[in-house]
Structure 1
Amino acid sequence: MGIPRLLLTPGEPAGIGPDLAVRIAQHAHGAEIVAVADPDLLRERAHALGLALTLESVDYSAAPRVQAAGTLAIDPVAMPATAQAGVLDARNADYVLATLDRAVDQCQAGVAAALVTGPVHKAVINQAGHRFSGHTGYLAARCDSQPPVMMLTTDDASLRVCLATVHMPLSEVPGAIRFDELGQCIDTIHQQLIARFGLDRPRILVAGLNPHAGEAGYLGREEIDTIAPAIEAARERGIDAIGPLPADTLFTPDRLADADAVLAMYHDQGLPVIKHLGFSRTVNVSLGLPIVRTSVDHGTALALAGTEHVNTGSLEAALKIAADMAQAEHGA
C-alpha cells in the first residue's frame, strides 16, 4: 500500500495527548501522521515544552508523504475553550468526540489507513451529558459494527492478549460469559489475526474462568457448561483454539511458544501479564471494527501534562502496530 496515512486523535486536551503528538513530531516517521486536533492547542503545548513544531494542512486527495522531523500534518478541529494543561474542562468534551467523528469519517472514506487514539477522560465526557464508556464502544457505535474484541499487544507483537469481558465488576463476569458471545469473540480474533496480522492459521489459547480451569467442576462449572463447548464449536469451524487452560500456567514460555494469541476471560486475568512484560510499549487494539484502530494503553496523566516527564513509548508502538496492520490488510 506504499506509505500509510495514520490519523492521530490526541484525546483529552488537558492531558498528555497533545504533548505526545508534539513529541512524536520531533523525529521523522515512515508514515504520514495526521493530527485530528485543534492546531492552536498543539502550537501552545509545543511552545510550553520549548519544542519546534510546523503544522501542515493535510491534503487527503494527494498521496501520503513521510513525516519530516519537526513537522506534523493537521486536520483542524476547533476547540471551544482554551485548554490548560492538567485542568479538565467539560466544555471541550464535544471537541474530543468531534475529533473521533472526523477521523472515523476519513478512515471509512478510504483516505486514511488507520486511526490511532490518544487517552480520553471518560468522566468529563459523561459530565458534559454524553453516555460514554470508552473509545471502543463509541467507535463500534459510530461504525455501526459488531461488538469489537479488546486486544493488548506489544510493539513487537511477542504477546497478544484478548479479553472475553472488559470493564465490569468481577461479580458480573461469570454471567457475561455465554456460549454465543464467546464463540463470536473467538471467531473475531481468528479472522482479525489472519486479515490484519498476516497469520495463516492462528493458534488461540483460551483461559478458564476458575482456578485450575474449574478442577473438573469442583471449583466451578463455567468451563464444563460454557467455555469448553464454545471452544469445541470453534474447532469444528476450523479454528485452532485450545483450552480451557488454567490461567496460572497458561502464560508460561512453553505454553506461549506456539501460540498467536491468548483469550482471557476477564480484565485482570490477562492484562497484568502483558503490562508487566512491557508497560511503556503496550498497545490497545480493537479487533472487529471495519477500520484499523490502535490506542495508547495509558490514561490522560493530567499531572504530567505540559511537563518533561511524558513517555512516548506506547504511542510510538501504537503507530507502528497500526501501520503494520494496515499494510497486512492491504497485502503489502
Structure 2
Amino acid sequence: MKPLAVSLGDPAGVGPELIAEAWSRRAAAGLAPFFVAGGASLLHRAASLRGIELPVQPISRPDEAPAVFGEALPVLGLSDGEYRPGEPDPDGARLALESLTMATGLARSGQAGGVVTGPIAKARLAAVGFDHPGQTEFVAAACGVEPQNAVMMLAGPSLRTIPLTVHIALEQVPAAITRELIEDRVRIAASALSSDFGLAAPRIAIAALNPHAGEDGRMGDEEARVIAPAIAALAAEGLAVTGPHPADALFTPRARQTYDLAVCMYHDQALVPLKALDFDEGVNVTLGLPIVRTSPDHGTAFAIAGKRLADPGAMIAALRMAGEIAARRAAAA
C-alpha cells in the first residue's frame, strides 16, 4: 500500500503537534506509513513544545516514506514557516493551503494512498484565496467530483452519521431536503460502507426532521411528503433502510445497535450525538471520491495550541481509518 499524505492544517492550530504525537504513537496505534506535506522545522518545534522527541526526515518522493517511517517522520517539500501556536496569520494560512493542495494532488495522482487533512480555519483560508466552503468541497473539486456527490460522514467507535445538509441556516433546511437528495446520499453511503468499510449489507437509519417524526402531520409534513417516499424507493432497490425515526430516540444505546449509519437532516442533528459520544475519536471521512480522504473531526483549537492539552485521539483515528480504507481498496484493485 502507498503511504498516506497528511496536510498540516493551520500551523497556528493543534494540527502540527497532533501529527507529531500520532507519529510518536505509530506502533501502538497500528498506523500505516504516512508523510507530511511541508513544515519540517515547524513540526519539529511543535513536537518539542509538546515534549516529543521527533526526528524529521526530508524525502523527495512519496515512495521513500515507508523506508524511513519507522525511525523518523517523513516530510515532503520545502515549504515551511514559523511555529506560533494560537497566533494565526496570513503566512500560516498560505502554508496550510499549499500543504493541502500538495497532499491532495499526490493522492489524486496515485502517488499517495490517500489524504488526511489537518484542521483549518476557513475564514483564514478565504482571506488568502480559498474559495470553497471547506476541505471536503476542495478535495471533491480536485477530484472532479460535484459537491453534492461528495458525502461527509462522521465516524467514531460508537456511531456513524451523515448530515444531509451541512453549512446552511436552520431555517433553510426544510426546503433543502428533497427525495433526490436523500436517495442520492444514501446510495453513495451504502456503496462506500460496503466497499470501504466491509459491510456487505449496511443498515441505514433515516432520521426525521420534525419532533416525533411529525406526529402524523401535526408538527410538519416533511416526513410523509419527502422522507418516507425516499425511504420506500431505496428499500425497493434492496437497501436496508428504515425510518423516518424520531431523532430524540435514534441515538440511544439500544437504538444504535440496530443500524450501521444514521442519516440526519441537518448539521447539528448529526454532529451533536457524534461529538457527545466520540469527540476524541471522531473522524470526518468523505464518501463518493476516487481517493481516500479523512480528517479529525475537530477544529484548529487555537486557544489550546502549543499547551500540551489537545487530545491526539481523533488524528490517530483519522490516520488509522484512512490506512484501513486504502488497504481495502488496494486489495480489491
- Which AA in structure 1 matches 2:289? L
1:152 alignment partner in structure 2: 154
Deviation of the 1:62 alpha carbon? 5.2
Deviation of the 1:77 alpha carbon? 4.6
- How many residue pairs match? The answer is 326
1:284-319, CA deviations, whole angstroms, 9 ceiling, x for partnerless residues? 111112211111111111122222212111111111
2:142 alignment partner in structure 1: 142
TM, length-normalised to structure 1: 0.92
Structure 1 range deviating more: 53-62 or 235-244: 53-62
- The equivalent position to 1:20 in structure 2, one of 1, 18, 21, is 18
Where structure 2 has 5 or more consecutive residues not aligned to the other structure, the ranges are none
8 Å CA contact 2:86–2:305 kept in 1: the answer is yes
1:58-84, CA deviations, whole angstroms, 9 ceiling, x for partnerless residues? 443458348326x201112514x5342
Percent identity of equivalent pairs: 39
1:301 alignment partner in structure 2: 301
2:49 alignment partner in structure 1: 48
2:282 alignment partner in structure 1: 282
1:25-67, CA deviations, whole angstroms, 9 ceiling, x for partnerless residues? 2233341121112212112323434432222234434583483
Q: Provide the secondary structure at the position in 1 that maps to 2:216.
A: helix
Where structure 1 has 5 or more consecutive residues not aligned to the other structure, the ranges are none
- Stretches of 4+ moved more than 6 A in 1? none
- Which AA in structure 1 matches 2:177? I
Q: 1: CA distance between counterparts of 2:265 and 2:55? A: 45
1:31 alignment partner in structure 2: 32
8 Å CA contact 2:202–2:240 kept in 1: the answer is yes
Is the aligned partner of 1:231 residue 2:231? yes
- Which AA in structure 2 matches 1:74? V
Q: 1:126 to 1:60 in 2, by over 3 A?
A: closer
8 Å CA contact 1:117–1:295 kept in 2: the answer is yes
2:132 alignment partner in structure 1: 132
1:132-154, CA deviations, whole angstroms, 9 ceiling, x for partnerless residues? 32111111112111331111111
Deviation of the 1:252 alpha carbon? 2.5
Q: 1: CA distance between counterparts of 2:257 and 2:23? A: 36
- Which AA in structure 1 matches 2:236? E
Structure 1 range deviating more: 217-226 or 104-113: 104-113
TM, length-normalised to structure 2: 0.91
Q: 2: CA distance between counterparts of 1:325 and 1:225? A: 37
Deviation of the 1:263 alpha carbon? 0.3
1:201 alignment partner in structure 2: 201
2:170 alignment partner in structure 1: 170
Q: Which has the higher helix share?
A: 2
8 Å CA contact 2:32–2:320 kept in 1: the answer is no
8 Å CA contact 1:108–1:291 kept in 2: the answer is yes
* 1:37-76 equivalent positions in 2, closer than 5 A: 37-58=38-59, 59-61=61-63, 64-65=66-67, 67-68=69-70, 71-76=72-77
1:146-199, CA deviations, whole angstroms, 9 ceiling, x for partnerless residues? 331111111x4x421111111111101001101212211111111110110011
8 Å CA contact 1:57–1:73 kept in 2: the answer is yes
